[in-house]
A and B are shown apart, each in its own frame.
Chain A
Amino acid sequence: MSVLELKDVSISHVQGLEKNTVVHDVNVSVKAGECFGLVGPSGCGKSTLLWVLAGLNPHWSGGIQLLDQPLKPGKVFSGELRRRVQMVFQDPYASLHPKHRLRRALSEPLKLLGYQDIDDRLSEGFKLVGLTENMIDRYPHQLSGGQRQRVAIIRALLLEPKLLLLDEPTSALDMSVQAEILNLLNELKAKRDLTMIMVSHDPEVVDYMCDHAVTMKAGRIDKETFYD
């Protein structure tokens, strides 16, 4: 069963009257439970593609089937789909709101969904990613880079996603912290039955993590690899 099916997907940046196509005719299918990698140099369109899958960029054309739902270009994600696709961003310093304490940042979306047992879920999440619960009333700037990325992972997982998007989740981190985060992601994938899509410019990270990967070059798929 496939979680994601891309058919001739092209993505454009619109600037004024000019339309600049940055991703051309991508065809890819991602199976459930897979870790799928998108590799390539900066500017190859891999992040652009990921932001479309995240529902943050509606300027695309072609056919996308995501979690058994056909998507329409120009539409924002809503309801169930919005919740089931979550993302961990590249820079943990920039992806947490600087003026919100962790408790607020993590509990707000759960409140919107009408959960009652928010505190239990938060403490479970902290345990899951290996953080101590006493950090919950801190601001993001009081944490280290690795701790922030763990918080970003909790934030994504609290909504119980089916698809977890990872936009260079370790490239802003130290090599030793990268190892910790990659181990954590592997554990979570096994425990939670997650499908992951990971963007990286480091082929070794993708070699280590992914079951299936494509290398992109100038907006097109250059090479598709299946690891056993």
Chain B
Amino acid sequence: MIDSSLQSKDPLEKSTKRIASGFRLPYWLNTFNVGLVMVVILLGLALLAPLLSPFDPNLQNIQDRLLAPDAQHWFGTDRFGRDLFSRVLYGARPTLILVSLVVILTVPIGLIVGICAGYFGGWTERVLMRMTDIVMSLPSLVIALALVSILGPGLMNGALALAFTSWPSFARQARTETLSIRRSDYLSAAKMQGITGWRLIIGHILPLVLPSAIVRAALNLGGIILAAAGLGFLGMGIQPPTAEWGSMVSSGSRVIFDQWWVAAVPGFAILFASLAFNLLGDGLRDKMDPRHDK
């Protein structure tokens, strides 16, 4: 009896639900998955560049300079006659290496500074946070340029320069989160059990602060890719003839009105990479942060 009544109710329920929710995307098509697929494609292309690229990226061929895209040179050639498709593939490598170096440097520094400031409070907090504020108010690309011009251009120095200006946002976030859990009962309970100092910070505070730092890192990566391309564009990144997207755009810009693809192809590569990490970060935030839950 119950069953029949439930069934008679069902169609009405379903139809109202459909109207209320409107057009729905398939469940697997979300920001996180799209971002993840894009990042995996990016990593795959960078790793397999020697297999995938039809030409040596540094092979100059003056006869074939500035060719439009065709069956042989899919993306055309630059002003030294180098194959742009191969160069874009190889160009993914320095970008990804630089970006990972920046993350490896900034996340731990930011977390240590932020957690210490939030946990110890008092003068420790004041000194650390004023330092953070000062670094945060510096114009990041200008400072990075200045640092590179002192240290000399190159991959490692570019990463150091970008890392120097991008850790403060991690520190601020970690401090805010530490403050919010500093007075929590479970930390008080841990202290009452004799757990103090670094044991408390690493075992109890870090696991709660780390997820949002990872999300922020993923979101920041998009910006770091742009900054890395900026350094390359201004000639402060990896030096030619190594393929790098920023410097490729720069050299393409000289012929942008007649042979637009020379600048546009690496430009699109930068767009793709930056978008991939932005989507991934956004999706990660939706997944990990309950406040953004649907």
User: A residues engaging B (CB < 8 A)?
Assistant: 54-56, 82-83, 85-87, 89-91, 94-100, 108-109, 112-113, 152, 155, 159
**In the complex, which residues of chain A have a beta carbon less than 8 angstroms from the beta carbon of B185?**
89-91, 94-95
**Contacts A91-B185, A95-B185 hold; do A108 and B203 have CB atoms under 8 A apart?**
yes
Q: Which of B186, B193, B204 lies in contact with A159, CB distance below 8 A? A: B193
Q: Is the CB of A155 within 8 A of B194?
A: no
Q: Is the CB of A95 within 8 A of B194?
A: no
User: How far is it, in angstroms, between the C-alpha of A83 and the C-alpha of B207 when the chains are bound?
Assistant: 25
Q: State the Cβ distance, A66 to closest chain B Cβ, in Å.
A: 14
> In the complex, which residue of chain B has the Cβ closest to the Cβ of A165?
B192
User: How far is it, in angstroms, between the C-alpha of A169 and the C-alpha of B194 when the chains are bound?
Assistant: 21
Q: Is the CB of A86 within 8 A of B192?
A: yes
Q: What is the size, in residues, of chain B's interface with A at 8 Å between Cβ atoms?
A: 16
Taking each of B185, B186, B193, B194, which has the highest tally of chain A beta carbons within 10 Å of its own beta carbon?
B193
Q: Is the CB of B186 within 8 A of A109?
A: no
Listed by A's residue number, 25 A-B pairs whose Cβ atoms lie within 8 Å are: A54-B188, A54-B192, A56-B191, A86-B192, A87-B189, A89-B185, A91-B185, A94-B184, A94-B185, A94-B186, A95-B188, A95-B189, A96-B189, A97-B186, A97-B204, A98-B208, A100-B207, A108-B195, A109-B194, A109-B195, A112-B194, A112-B195, A113-B194, A155-B193, A159-B193
Residue B190 lies at the interface, judged by CB distance under 8 Å to chain A: yes
> In the complex, which residue of chain B has the Cβ closest to the Cβ of A99?
B207
User: How far is it, in angstroms, between the C-alpha of A91 and the C-alpha of B185 when the chains are bound?
Assistant: 8
Q: Is the CB of B194 within 8 A of A82?
A: yes
Q: State the Cβ distance, A70 to closest chain B Cβ, in Å.
A: 20
Interface residues of B in 182-213 (CB under 8 A from A): 184-186, 188-195, 199, 203-204, 207-208
User: How far is it, in angstroms, between the C-alpha of A109 and the C-alpha of B185 when the chains are bound?
Assistant: 16
Interface majority SS on A: helix, strand, loop or mixed?
A: loop
> In the complex, which residue of chain B has the Cβ closest to the Cβ of A83?
B194
Q: State the Cβ distance, A154 to closest chain B Cβ, in Å.
A: 12
**In the complex, which residues of chain A have a beta carbon less than 8 angstroms from the beta carbon of B186?**
94-98
**In the complex, which residues of chain A have a beta carbon less than 8 angstroms from the beta carbon of B193?**
86, 108-109, 112, 155, 159
User: How far is it, in angstroms, between the C-alpha of A22 and the C-alpha of B85 when the chains are bound?
Assistant: 73
**In the complex, which residues of chain A have a beta carbon less than 8 angstroms from the beta carbon of B194?**
82-83, 109, 112-113, 159
> In the complex, which residue of chain B has the Cβ closest to the Cβ of A94?
B185
**Contacts A94-B186, A108-B203 hold; do A87 and B192 have CB atoms under 8 A apart?**
yes
**Contacts A91-B185, A94-B184 hold; do A99 and B195 have CB atoms under 8 A apart?**
no
Q: State the Cβ distance, B104 to closest chain A Cβ, in Å.
A: 23
**In the complex, which residues of chain A have a beta carbon less than 8 angstroms from the beta carbon of B189?**
87, 89, 95-96, 152, 155
User: How far is it, in angstroms, between the C-alpha of A82 and the C-alpha of B193 when the chains are bound?
Assistant: 7
User: How far is it, in angstroms, between the C-alpha of A86 and the C-alpha of B189 when the chains are bound?
Assistant: 9
Q: State the Cβ distance, A105 to closest chain B Cβ, in Å.
A: 8
**Contacts A112-B194, A155-B193 hold; do A56 and B188 have CB atoms under 8 A apart?**
yes
**Contacts A89-B185, A91-B185, A108-B203 hold; do A97 and B190 have CB atoms under 8 A apart?**
yes
Write the B78-117 contact mask toward A (1 if CB under 8 angstroms, else 0): 0000000000000000000000000000000000000000
Interface residues of B in 221-253 (CB under 8 A from A): none
User: How far is it, in angstroms, between the C-alpha of A96 and the C-alpha of B189 when the chains are bound?
Assistant: 8
Q: State the Cβ distance, A113 to closest chain B Cβ, in Å.
A: 7
User: How far is it, in angstroms, between the C-alpha of A97 and the C-alpha of B192 when the chains are bound?
Assistant: 14
User: How far is it, in angstroms, between the C-alpha of A95 and the C-alpha of B191 when the chains are bound?
Assistant: 12
**In the complex, which residues of chain B have a beta carbon less than 8 angstroms from the beta carbon of A159?**
193-194
> In the complex, which residue of chain A has the Cβ closest to the Cβ of B204?
A97
Taking each of B186, B191, B208, which has the highest tally of chain A beta carbons within 10 Å of its own beta carbon?
B186
User: How far is it, in angstroms, between the C-alpha of A82 and the C-alpha of B196 when the chains are bound?
Assistant: 11
**In the complex, which residues of chain B have a beta carbon less than 8 angstroms from the beta carbon of A90?**
185
Q: State the Cβ distance, B178 to closest chain A Cβ, in Å.
A: 14
Known: A82-B194, A98-B208. 18 other contacts (CB 8 A): A54-B188, A54-B192, A56-B188, A56-B191, A83-B194, A85-B192, A86-B193, A90-B185, A95-B185, A95-B189, A96-B189, A97-B190, A97-B204, A98-B186, A99-B207, A99-B208, A109-B194, A155-B193
Q: Which of B192, B203, B204, B207 lies in contact with A56, CB distance below 8 A? A: B192
**In the complex, which residues of chain B have a beta carbon less than 8 angstroms from the beta carbon of A83?**
194
Q: State the Cβ distance, B200 to closest chain A Cβ, in Å.
A: 10
**In the complex, which residues of chain A have a beta carbon less than 8 angstroms from the beta carbon of B188?**
54, 56, 87, 89, 95
> In the complex, which residue of chain A has the Cβ closest to the Cβ of B189?
A95
Q: State the Cβ distance, A155 to closest chain B Cβ, in Å.
A: 7
**In the complex, which residues of chain B have a beta carbon less than 8 angstroms from the beta carbon of A97?**
186, 190, 204
**In the complex, which residues of chain B have a beta carbon less than 8 angstroms from the beta carbon of A94?**
184-186
